[in-house]
Amino acid sequence: MELNKKNKKTRRDFLKLSSAIAGSVAFYSMFKPIESVANRKTDVTEREHWYGFGFDIEKCIGCGLCAKACKIENDVPREPFFFRTWVEQYTIKNGHIIKDENVIVESPNGGIDGFTQSVPDKEIFKSFFVPKTCNHCYKAPCVQVCPVGATFETPDGVVLVDDSYCVGCGYCIQACPYGARYLHPEKKTADKCTFCYHRLKKGLAPACVDVCPTGARMYGDLDDKEGPLVQFIKNHTCRVLKPHLNTKPKLFYNALNEEVR
């Protein structure tokens, strides 16, 4: 009798325990997807590098050779509608500084053929070049929206496209706030700057960085506190593009004016 009762009790305990476990598993599995939407990071403690760019607007002279080298190095279609990197010239005219109509932005053929000054000197308040490329965002909207997982951030921080898996829906192109993506006209898949991943892995600098005659473009390891990129960010007043969108770019600009979008 006594034994039987005890047995019953443990059985009930067992049932309680197992249902509690089952319940919490079900509860957890309900929240797992939510968590993965909000915080879709894989464990990156074991990464060897975490790559980022540093662009110095004060040093860029608008030769456009970076954009040209990029097209050659990566077989980017030569038509003027597809760019992995490009250079913009901003010219702010004399007059009302705050108004947008006094800001002139140009990027003829992405700057590949160089720039010709279009506004006469006496009308210019300020002019500068801005090199642009994929920001390899830490919270990349393109990665977030890709429906099939064909674009992703590698453990070392580079946002890449899997062109054998991309369906070519174009959602990532819409989601990129920086206009860094295009649909490759032959491959029919999304395409963008790869940080010259094939060069990085061979110990070489990205082509645009390598050919830059003034050192306006640099790259480095954001994990390496003594490295050139972190030191560049430390010693200059650096900003990222469109910080309000919270995409956390890994491309840092020195001397970025607020007119630049």
**The only residue of 1, 3, 30, 37 in contact with other proteins, by rule CB under 8 A:** 37
251 binds other proteins (CB under 8 A): no
Radius of gyration of the chain (CA): 25
Give the three-state DSSP class for 198. Answer: helix
Give the three-state DSSP class for 103. Answer: strand
Smallest distance from other proteins to CB 74, Å = 8
**The only residue of 50, 53, 55, 129 in contact with other proteins, by rule CB under 8 A:** 129
Which residues are within 8 A (CB) of 131 and not within 5 positions of it... i.e. 6 or more apart? 55, 60, 66, 85, 86, 87, 88, 208, 216, 217
Smallest distance from other proteins to CB 136, Å = 13
Give the residue among 169, 175, 103, 170 at the shortest CA–CA distance from 137: 175
Which two tokens mark 219? 């790259």
Number of residues that bind other proteins (CB under 8 A): 100
Give the residue among 192, 143, 124, 138 at the shortest CA–CA distance from 163: 192
50 binds other proteins (CB under 8 A): no
How do 151-153 and 103-106 pair as beta strands? Answer: unpaired
**The only residue of 13, 188, 228, 248 in contact with other proteins, by rule CB under 8 A:** 188
**The only residue of 55, 135, 137, 211 in contact with other proteins, by rule CB under 8 A:** 211
Which residues are within 8 A (CB) of 21 and not within 5 positions of it... i.e. 6 or more apart? none
Residues 158-177 that bind other proteins (CB under 8 A): 160, 162, 164-171, 173-177
Cα–Cα distance for residue pair 61/85, rounded to 1 Å:
15
240 binds other proteins (CB under 8 A): no
Residues 83-112 that bind other proteins (CB under 8 A): 83, 86, 88-91, 100, 103-107, 109-110
Give the residue among 92, 112, 84, 89 at the shortest CA–CA distance from 251: 84
Which residues are within 8 A (CB) of 240 and not within 5 positions of it... i.e. 6 or more apart? 135, 248, 249, 251, 252, 253
Quick one: 196 or 229, whose CB is closer to other proteins?
Answer: 196
Give the residue among 247, 214, 217 at the shortest CA–CA distance from 232: 217
141 binds other proteins (CB under 8 A): yes
178 binds other proteins (CB under 8 A): yes
Q: Which stretch binds other proteins (CB under 8 A): 6-14, 19-27, 151-159, 227-235?
A: 151-159
Q: Which stretch binds other proteins (CB under 8 A): 70-78, 219-227, 231-239, 248-256?
A: 70-78
Quick one: 52 or 110, whose CB is closer to other proteins?
Answer: 110
115 binds other proteins (CB under 8 A): yes
Quick one: 2 or 66, whose CB is closer to other proteins?
Answer: 66
239 binds other proteins (CB under 8 A): no
Smallest distance from other proteins to CB 10, Å = 37
